[in-house]
């Protein structure tokens, strides 16, 4: 991608209404544009990151045995009346009427709709277990939307829903999602701590929040110091084997949000008090929705039984802000390689210089041939402006070419995460960026 042809509306001044670093950096780097309170347009750079995160989530949810679907954003109020939540949910729900004066709503979550899908198609115990998920925009009319995409009104969410024959098998599904979430967050370059949580308006008897530690996090959290040195080969945990032991390993270490903190449950010498950001939440709610909505299956003896259910959410758009909160410096964003909008950027400091242009295009075409996503700064801005822009948007590797370097047929490569710079020839350049 040539920067001169790319829509990247950099904002030089720090927006006055942006209170936290992720909001400021997302606006400044041209990732988003605020359209109204808590509602944003995602511009090309931000959309690329959203897609990278979504792809990682989809891949791991599929590995865990879940099936991707897509449900509509607009839902019938009648489904919510069946579950008893239409009047109970509160003012966060956007309630509207269509032209036929029917009550509809912009979905804040999908327990009712997925239960209706299940009861319409699965009639026998032989169809279990089943886990369905989608990635879809949600709307919750927050009373005070703030912190950019961290607490917006419209947000992109992955929500999954499990259906099982009994409580034991439903706990197995819950554990699969528990491990899947840890795998997902690791692939996103994050360490997430599972914390026992309230079930809130979703309901149920078991729930965990997944919190990433960040000094700028919105919530005060407490955790055991052992979390910092915990070493588990999470990537090689097999979903088809008994997961209870692995889940117990994580839940046995103390971790609690401010409202759940009990100082009597941990030695003060092992306690870390810090801040964190919620990036995922899972719930086990048994037969709460299947009972009220008639989602039952026929058992081998011919009797009917309500299925046991759970739901599992990840804030996809929220994750963009959370990653920035946990990975940035004074110059800008530092993207983990797995979610960076581009793999590398090429910065030609002397556009119009024949040798610099030739070397820049040579490495650009070579890397494109290796299916790498590259942003080539071919603009005629000053060197300082070019380098500051690349630090701001946080691409993992910067390949810098200027007249002095070109004279010796050399490139400078900068690692954005640690600031290390190396002057190398073409062959060593390729080795340094792990290609």
Cα 135 from chain centroid? 11
What ranges make up the beta strands (E) of 335-377?
Answer: 344-348, 374-377
pLDDT of the residue at 13? 83
Residues of the chain above pLDDT 70, percent? 98
Beta bridge partners of 83: none
Q: Where are the beta strands (DSSP E) in 11-153?
A: 32-36, 39-42, 67-68, 74-76, 94-97, 103-106, 130-139
Q: What angle do CA 421, 2, 329 make, to 5 degrees?
A: 40
- In the DSSP assignment, the letter for residue 14 is P
How far apart (Å, rounded) are the C-alpha atoms in residues 214 and 322? 8
Per-residue model confidence (pLDDT) at position 259: 85
**In the numeric block, which tokens belong to residue 327?**
């990975």
Q: Which of 280, 188, 172 is nearest to 234 (CA)?
A: 188
pLDDT, position 200: 65
Indicate the pLDDT class of residue 434, thresholds 50, 70 and 90. low
How do residues 148-179 score in pLDDT, each as one tens digit? 999 899 999 999 999 999 999 999 999 999 99
- Angle at the Cα of 411 (from 408 to 413), degrees rounded to 5? 150
Query: Is pLDDT larger for residue 377 or for residue 430?
Result: 377
Q: Return the beta strands (E) in 199-262 as ranges.
A: 206-213, 219-224, 255-257
So what's the pLDDT on residue 426? 87
DSSP state of 160: E
Q: Residue 201 pLDDT > 70, yes or no?
A: no
Rounded distance between C-alpha atoms, residue 326 and residue 335, angstroms: 10
Which pLDDT does position 232 carry in this prediction? Answer: 85
Mean pLDDT computed over 200-229: 84
pLDDT in tens, 359-413: 999 999 999 998 999 999 999 999 999 999 999 999 999 999 999 999 999 999 9
pLDDT, residue 202, reads 61
Whether pLDDT at 435 is above 60: no
User: Which whole number is the average pLDDT over 52-56?
Assistant: 98
Average confidence score pLDDT of the chain: 93
Which of these ranges, 130-134, 197-201, 308-312, has the smallest mean pLDDT?
A: 197-201
Tell me the domains of the chain and their CATH numbers: 9-333 (3.30.930.10), 344-432 (3.40.50.800)
Mean pLDDT of the 320-332 span: 95
**Which single residue is written with the structure tokens 């001044």?**
13
Q: What is the percent of the chain with per-residue pLDDT over 90, rounded to a whole number? A: 85
């Amino acid at each position: 991608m040539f920067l001169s042809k790319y829509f990247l509306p950099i904002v030089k001044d720090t927006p006055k209404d942006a209170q936290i670093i992720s909001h400021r950096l997302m606006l400044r780097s041209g990732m988003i544009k605020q359209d109204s309170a808590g509602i944003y347009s995602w511009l090309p750079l931000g959309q690329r990151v959203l897609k990278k995160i979504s792809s990682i989530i989809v891949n791991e949810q599929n590995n865990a045995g879940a099936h991707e679907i897509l449900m509509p954003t607009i839902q019938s109020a009648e489904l919510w009346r069946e579950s008893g939540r239409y009047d109970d949910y509160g003012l966060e729900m956007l309630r509207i009427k269509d032209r036929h004066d029917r009550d509809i709503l912009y979905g804040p979550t999908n327990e009712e709709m997925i239960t209706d899908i299940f009861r319409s198609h699965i009639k026998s115990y032989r169809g279990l277990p089943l886990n369905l998920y989608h990635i879809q925009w949600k709307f919750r009319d927050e009373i005070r939307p703030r912190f950019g995409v961290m607490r917006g009104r419209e947000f992109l969410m992955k929500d999954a829903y499990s259906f099982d024959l009994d409580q034991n098998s439903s706990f197995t599904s819950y554990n699969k999602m528990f491990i899947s979430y840890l795998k997902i967050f690791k692939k996103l370059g994050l360490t997430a701590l599972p914390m026992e949580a309230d079930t809130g308006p979703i309901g149920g008897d078991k729930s965990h929040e997944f919190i990433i530690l960040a000094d700028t996090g919105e919530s005060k959290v407490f955790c055991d110091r052992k979390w910092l040195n915990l070493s588990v080969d999470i990537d090689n945990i097999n979903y088809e084997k008994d997961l209870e032991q692995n889940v117990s390993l994580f839940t046995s270490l103390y971790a609690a949000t401010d409202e759940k903190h009990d100082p009597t449950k941990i030695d003060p010498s092992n306690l870390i008090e810090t801040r964190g950001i919620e990036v995922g939440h899972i719930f086990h709610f048994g037969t709460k929705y299947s009972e009220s909505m008639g989602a039952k299956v026929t058992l081998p003896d011919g009797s009917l039984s309500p299925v046991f259910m759970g739901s599992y959410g990840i804030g996809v758009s929220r994750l963009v802000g959370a990653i920035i909160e946990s990975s940035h410096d004074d110059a800008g964003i530092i993207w983990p390689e797995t979610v960076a909008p581009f793999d590398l950027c090429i910065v030609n400091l002397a556009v119009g210089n024949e040798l610099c242009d030739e070397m820049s295009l040579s490495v650009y075409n070579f890397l494109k041939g290796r299916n790498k996503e590259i942003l080539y700064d071919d603009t005629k801005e000053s060197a300082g402006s070019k380098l500051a822009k690349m630090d701001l948007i946080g691409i993992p590797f910067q390949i810098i070419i200027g007249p002095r370097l070109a004279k010796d047929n050399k490139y400078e490569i900068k690692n954005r995460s640690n600031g290390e710079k190396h002057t190398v020839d073409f062959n060593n350049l390729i080795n340094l960026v792990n290609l």
